[in-house]
A and B are shown apart, each in its own frame.
Chain A
Amino acid sequence: MTSSDDFMRGVRTFAPSRRTVLGAGLAAALAPAVRAKEPRITLTVAAFPLVDQIVKDAIPQWQQRHPDVAINIVMRQYDDHHTAMTTALSTAVYLPDVMALEASYVGKFSDGGGLSDLLQPRYDIARYKDRFVAYAYDQAVNKKGQVVAAPTDIGPGTMLYRKDLLDRAGLVAADLQPSWDAYVDAGIKIKKATGANLIGNVRTFKDLMIRGGLKQGQGIYFDSDSNVLVDTPRFHRAFELSVRMRRNDLEGHLETWSNEWAEGFRRNMTATELGGSWMVGQLANWVAPGTKGLWRAAQLPESTWVSYGGTYYAIPRDSDPGKKALAWELIEMMTLDPQRQLAALKTQDAFPALLSAQADPSFDQPSEFLGGQHARLLWREAARHITATAVHKQAKFAEDAVNVALDSVLDDGVPIPKALSDVARLLELRARR
């Protein structure tokens, strides 16, 4: 920020008269005299919504340490941000000093070599390994064993349910948890008793199910040797239960995040939702604030321990070498300072990846939206069980192809074995590209 900006901000609070505006011009002319105190170095942080706010909130603390280093946050919407980062990495032009990345993109970018290896002595992230949630750290390790990003927040998978609707069906959360079949069975009872759907979008259900029971280091769609895992019992079962859900009319046919999907929650037509712990913040803030107090959280059915999203900070390999030390210091502050992690939890519902932040007394706050439940303890427990999932280069395509296959099964009645073997063939062609 330049000094004339500061001055203008002052002017605005004083309600400018003509004279002060003229004065501003004069001050601007005299500005070079004041410039001595101006930051000499600017650190650029590229981020997407909410992460940008978390970094912004940290600026005062950073300024105390480094009054001469300004932080410039470049915010873009989620998709635009990651497209821009892909472009920046491919051309090595306009690279930020610090790059925020969503978990799936860490996997996507990790083997390209565009991100600095944080194991290098100058960063030496290995010494902090035990301070992070284990899977969050492992998730940033690429095939060569390099660590390409530092975890800041995580999204432990959780099941959210409407206690009032379950009550009316004479059910408790434990009735939904033993297995995914039990979950669907409960859905039939809920539908009968209340008319509500079990879930808004059957894809969400399928996505959670196919993430369950993965071995350490295995991907959802490919194993570590790029063998396709789609035509396996894990997918067959998820598809079969999806069909059963559709036949019993337990899902709303609603596209996640659409207006109709949100409306389903508002009108008490959706009894459960599966996703990351951050879903609570979404429901509470905009999707269905009116349903406050009616929701509860529970562990996912069938002891499915999965992570759903999360945020990392990375340093591009080709960014300004002179600023890398500062960039790393900022990342250390954001990821290793419990106060920063707790602030992000408090203001943006960003679940800390730092274990000491999870142990802090202020961590365990009852959630009003969840009727006073101490849900964070539940998610802390879940985070301990989650293991890292390898993200294959073709994972995004695989996700699309599987979604198309599920639609063809549900809408056109294509037999499941055919749909899945078609996807497998499609993926085999790409697996080693």
Chain B
Amino acid sequence: MKLPAFLRLSPKWAPYVFISPFLVLFAVFGIFPLCFSLYLAFQSWEPTGGLKAMEFVGLANFAFALKDAWFWTALKNTLWLAIASGVPQHLVALPLAAFIHASFKRLRDGVIAVYFLPYITSTVAIAIMFNALFSKDYGLVNAALAQLFGMSHVDWLHDVGHIKPAIAFIVFWRYVGFNTVLYLAAMQTIPGELYEAATLDGASRWRQFFHITLPSIKPMIFFGVTLSVIGGLQLFEEPFILTGGKGGPQQSAMTSAVYLFREAFDFNDFGGASAMSWLLFVVVALLTWLTNLAFRTRKEAA
């Protein structure tokens, strides 16, 4: 059956129509908020006064953010957490992937699924679980530490000195599987002949790892590290939920993302929060660029 002409899609328009659902959604949920927050960053706005209550203030919001002591505290917390959770992720994921790649054949998918599970678990469930594990008097972590090392009970989530390591550990636990999958996928693309040739030449597995595996998966390491840099700097859910949205004792677990959320929704300063979010974007862009520099091969760099 043939449709009447006015219902038929002309080939000229078809591609646009087919791509439009994505573009419409992206415009509404991606581009609009982006532009709106950029616009807000230059406004002073008392939100309960409605949209009409905005007032152009130039760069005042940026100047305020740069002078605000809590903005810098939050940024320092963020960098601390990004390093403490990010570096171990890769240092563990790389050898782990190599080990799984070399040692498991039929069980590999099952093993990797176990490591990947935390990544797809809801953050809220994770937060509730770790809240229980890290509980001062009844938590398993304290019970185990007391049992093994005779340590006295630590108030992990309410103690200035302990909440950051606790959160870093949770983030590490959550993403190490994701990175392992990345590296494992990359290792599977390395031709087996390389290893065979190396074995014939008498290279140990250690040397094989450093001279074949690592160089071959370098692009993937770059990809994984970049994701960790970006994700680490935008860390929000874990600290937000574990501290009840408040940032923890003496703000020691308040990341930049948590702070700018609070600045907007707790302290009603949407202009200041938008300016902070763009400053955070600058930091993310800068560090991503530095990562890129670090991974560029020497020849290219020259």
By a beta-carbon cutoff of 8 Å, the part of chain A in contact with chain B is 83, 86-87, 89-92, 108-109, 111-115, 255, 317-318, 393-394, 396-397, 400-401, 404, 407-408, 411-412, 422, 425-426, 429-430, 433
Contacts and interface: CB of A to CB of B under 8 A. Distances in A.
Interface in B28-61: 44, 46-51, 53
B160 A318 contact: no
Contacts of A318: 50
Given A86-B48, A89-B47, A408 B267 contact: no
A114 B50 contact: yes
B69 interface: yes
B67 interface: yes
A201 B146 CA distance: 28
B68 interface: yes
A408 B50 CA distance: 38
Contacts of B118: none
Contact of A112 (B48, B69, B158, B246): B48
Contacts of B68: 426, 429-430
Interface in B247-289: 249-251, 265-269, 272
Given A404-B250, A411-B160, A429-B67, A92 B265 contact: no
Given A426-B70, A429-B64, A92 B50 contact: yes
Q: In the A-B complex, list the 10 residue pairs whose CB atoms are closest, starting with the nearest.
A: A112-B48, A90-B47, A112-B49, A114-B48, A89-B48, A113-B49, A112-B46, A397-B267, A109-B48, A407-B250
Contacts of B158: 255
A393 B269 CA distance: 9
B115 to A, nearest CB: 34
Contact of B47 (A112, A411, A425, A430): A112
Nearest to A407: B250
Contacts of B265: 83, 86
Contacts of B49: 89-90, 112-114
A254 to B, nearest CB: 10
B252 to A, nearest CB: 10
B250 A396 contact: no
Nearest to A79: B245
B103 to A, nearest CB: 46
A86 B47 contact: yes
Given A86-B265, A317-B50, 11 more contacts: A92-B50, A112-B46, A112-B48, A112-B53, A113-B48, A115-B48, A393-B268, A394-B267, A404-B250, A408-B250, A422-B69
A109 B47 CA distance: 9
A208 to B, nearest CB: 21
Contacts of B269: 430, 433
A411 B250 contact: yes
Contacts of B48: 86, 89-90, 108-109, 112-115
A90 B267 contact: no
Contacts of B272: 433
Interface string B212-231: 00000000000000000000
30 contacts: A83-B265, A86-B48, A86-B268, A89-B48, A89-B49, A90-B47, A90-B48, A90-B49, A90-B51, A92-B50, A92-B51, A108-B48, A112-B49, A113-B48, A113-B50, A113-B53, A318-B50, A396-B268, A397-B266, A400-B246, A401-B70, A404-B251, A412-B160, A412-B250, A429-B64, A429-B68, A430-B68, A430-B269, A433-B44, A433-B64
